[in-house]
Amino acid sequence: MRSDRAIPQAAYRLDRSYVWNYGHAPALPRIRRLPSGPGGRLFGHPLDSPLGISAGPLLNSRWVEGYARLGFDVLTYATVRSVSRPALPLPNIRHVENQERVAVVARRPAANGATVAVSLGEPSMEPDVWRRDVRRAKERIGRGQVLIVSVLGTPRPDGDADALVADYASCAAWAAESGADAVEVHLAVADPYAPQPLMIYENVPLAAQILYSVRTGVSVPVLARLGPFRSPRQLHETATKLAPWAGGFVLVPGVRRQVLDERGNAAFEGTGRERAEIVGADTFPIASRQVLEMLVWRRAGAWDRAVLAVGGITSVERAQWLLREGADAALVATAALFDPLFAVRFRQARATAVA
């Protein structure tokens, strides 16, 4: 289920800053006639196809519009905050080989699908900027497409957990007011108030409080973005406790690893950057296993919620397989950056199979 095509230049320029990429949407290929999609539905919205892009690549409305024209139909606007937050210094994205305990910088991109380490720091534009831009993004997508906006709470220096919950709720309300068809609540980040290293989704009481506050403040569906779990039991217990306040789950966007250069030194300069999120082809075994576990629990009647599969979907075959297993949507990220025509080939594969 892996491709042997050589990897082209990424749509996101790794040698340029986040701000530069934000202001320079890529010159994506133009398609004269887009193949028809297989159809689908998400939260009552009809879809041309259940293939889309997860939070990360779609920095603003110009990025959303460009990829929407290429047949990606579930479009996630990159994570936004209640305050402006700059990206971490370059380099902040590097090609890596993902090993068992660490990721090591690769000399060149792998030919069978890119795997990269991301150390951007969850940047965001000012709320006034992204709220206007989300409206433009909604206006620029077509019929059969939906816009999800990913939101992240920002802890305040003098704040507490209650303030963080309120911040999440404010961001979600702004996203919904700006035209989002659904809001993704990004919980796969460090819990700033935990006495030991812990992700917010692993602190179930806090995660539930955040989702409850968001859900009661918006009228659109709410998705919980989760990271990797230590065991199937922990996944089931967490999903069961969060399900009352979530219309669906997005998993697994990436895994955190220590990232080293070829000499064994930290690959990213600066305090707190020893570990980074690994995304792309090599994460598929971990991510897909958890998606399948979630689908098994859903079929068993644990709860009825949408499951949006993310993580290492770098081939059409991988996307098709997860959809056949029952995922409501297959979302790519790294693949969209290195292979903008992924959705076109996804549609062509369906047309060939039907013929």
Per-residue pLDDT averaged across 201-205, rounded?
Answer: 97
- CA–CA distance, 205 with 196 (Å, rounded to integer): 16
Q: What superfamily does domain 18-92+106-255+272-354 belong to in CATH?
A: Aldolase class I (3.20.20.70)
Q: Tell me what the mean pLDDT of segment 136-162 comes to.
A: 96
39-54: average pLDDT: 98
Q: What is the pLDDT of residues 178-192, one digit of tens each?
A: 999 999 999 999 999
Please, which residues have CB within 8 angstroms of residue 113's CB and are 6 or more apart in sequence? Answer: 2, 3, 7, 280, 281, 282, 312, 314, 315, 334, 335
- What φ, ψ does residue 254 adopt, rounded to 5°? 180, 175
Per-residue pLDDT reduced to its tens digit, 79-101: 999 999 999 999 999 999 988 78
- CB distance 53 to 78 below 8 Å: no
The pLDDT of residue 5 is 43
pLDDT of 6 > 50? The answer is no
User: What local confidence, expressed as pLDDT, does residue 112 receive?
Assistant: 61
Q: Is the pLDDT of residue 108 over 70?
A: yes
Q: Where are the domains of the chain?
A: 18-92+106-255+272-354
Predicted confidence band of residue 2 (pLDDT cuts 50, 70, 90): very low
pLDDT of residue 161 exceeding 80, the answer is: yes
Buried b (16+ CB within 10 A) or exposed e, 340-353: bebbbbbbebbeee
Q: What's phi and psi for 163, nearest 5 deg? A: -65, -35
Q: Which residues pair with 183 in a beta bridge?
A: 149, 222
Give residue 4's pLDDT: 37
- Matching residue, tokens 């949006």: 308
- What pLDDT is stored for residue 354 in this prediction? 57
Number of CB atoms found within 10 A of residue 27's CB: 9
| Token duo for residue 126 | 């000012």
Three-class DSSP labels, 163-225:
HHHHHHHHHHHHHHHCCCCEEEEECCCECCCCCCCCEHHHCHHHHHHHHHHHHCCCCCCEEEE
pLDDT at 355 over 90: no
Q: What CA dihedral angle connects 311, 314, 318 and 322, to 10 degrees?
A: 30
Rounded CA-CA distance 29/336 in Å is 12
Could you tell me the pLDDT band of residue 350, with boundaries at 50, 70 and 90? confident
What is the pLDDT averaged over residues 127-156? 98
CA-based Rg of the chain, rounded to a whole angstrom?
Answer: 19
CA distance 288 to 299: 16
Mean pLDDT of 270-289: 95
Residue 8 is predicted with a pLDDT of 55
Q: What is the pTM of this model?
A: 0.95
| Average predicted confidence (pLDDT) for the chain | 94
Angle at 79 between CA 337 and CA 215, to 5 degrees: 135
